Structure 1
Amino acid sequence: MAEEKPVADFTGRFALETGNGGRPEPTRGRVVMSRQRLVFVTADRRTTVPLTSVVDLVVGQVPSDMRALFDDSLTIAYRDGSATRTAVVEGDGDTIDRFTTVLFRALVTGRDVLVKHPARIGGRVTDATASPAKMTVSDDGVRFRTPDGGFCIDPGQVIDFTRTERSPDGTERPTLLVQHTDDGEAVTSLAAPASSRLVNLLGRYLRVEYDTLRSNIADMELTDPEKQVLVGIYATGGQIDFTSLLDGDAARVTRVLNSLEEQGLVDDGPDAVSLTPEGRVVVTERIEDVNV
């Protein structure tokens, strides 16, 4: 690490799985990261994890036998010979957020990926073709740089997420099918990184905000009129006569729209009513029984 420039260096608690059995005990120490490796330093031990051995990152979900011991945390899974070990790292919320972004950036940036964008616009299949690209994790999301420019996926705008084995060029290859918003429009992009390891890591990064959105809506109870209005906005992009959905009752429409706005599911803009990311996730994941 002496010749390498640290890109993260902070003090926190961590628990390192050693393979000796039993639950690893949390200890306080330094976490230092360069673009090649992670180093966990305590008073009597130094553990090095090459970034090339990291296979998974899980934000906020601690192994079940350690949940009572950690708050804001990141669980790092990595290969150690033929075994898979975990390191659970804890810090204050801002520190863990920054560390997570830096670590994802080091793991994903510059990697090869095959993409098709947009594969769909709304429900319409496009004539886009597969293209090679390089991935870059930046402040605004994951950018895919292609020979003709490229595109960006903001994790906060992801509204549906699937892993498939059909790649952008039609061959069998682990691929992420990501539905997200682009300039307010729902689009679907396909991304097939060069290895299953990278598919997993990219998927984890894109799911960070998506899983937060899902948790935000988990306990919402919607009325049938609210569901009808949400589906109507989704189907038409907000260009709809809402009274036609609710028996011509303008006052009822106002009440329903106000309720949806208070719940953070719609935005009432100057030109049209639109779904928030939470609103889109509600429609795509939870509403299956409403006809517009």
Structure 2
Amino acid sequence: MAAIQTRMQFGMGANEPLCIYELCNKLGIKVRFVDINIEGMYRRGADPRIMVAAKRPVARRAFTCAHELGHHVFGHGSTVDELEDDRSKDDSERPEEILANSFAAFTLMPTVGVRHAFASRHLAANTATPVQIFGVACNFGVGYSTLVNHLAYGMNDLLPVRATELLKSSPKTIRAQLLGKPSDAPLVVADGQWSAKTLDIEVGSHLLLPKTVAVAEGVMEPIAENGSQVLYCAVATGIRRAHGPNGWATFIRVCRERYVGMAAYRHLEDNDDEDDE
């Protein structure tokens, strides 16, 4: 309920994908990407701040930011969240951590929105393939395993035994299946049912788009055709509009790889934001 109320309070709707950094901005919380070996930090006070590790994948950063926002919404004190692999079981199972994780999940993946995403693709969570679930995860800007776990344990739309089977696949194996060969570059898939207004990606990452979608020049470069799709590589920072038939449109926003600085400036070529410390 807190996730839905926070979204709707700032006109972001109860079901569509959103940009967590824009939501934080509407709440008056500055977000900075920092070069530190943690997941994220929340600093409570008259001028609240969230700091997110720049080295983490784009989707992981978004979830971490939503998690730290959960600490703010529920009135928790300042927090430092260690890397997931470094956390003790006791730390991960503290009530405030479980609450912040749940808030993050339902803020980024609202139940109605996720169910609509599957329905619009004529899919059911329990029978969808890893590739199909990966596409829905991309639409909401979250990781593959994040969506699988949310479907199983947050929404109860996926049987736990099926979740265990799906988690045997990884983004690396899914990329190989989609591209027909191994690839180390992060990949985003935007299909014909893409519903997010924006698409965030880093320089050096790849993007699969339908052939029917046109992308304004400047930040994305086509590098291969893949059946009915075109594979692009993000080559420069900036924002460009992509559009296709039947009103399909989104803004592709490219930031530097492992960008350090204020989240609001991440798509600019030059970032002089030290005054915002």
TM-score range, shorter chain: under 0.3
Which structure would you say has the larger Rg?
Answer: 1
Larger RCO, structure (CA 8 Å, separation 6 or more): 2
Higher strand residue share: 1
Higher helix residue share: 2
Q: TM-score, normalised by structure 2?
A: 0.26
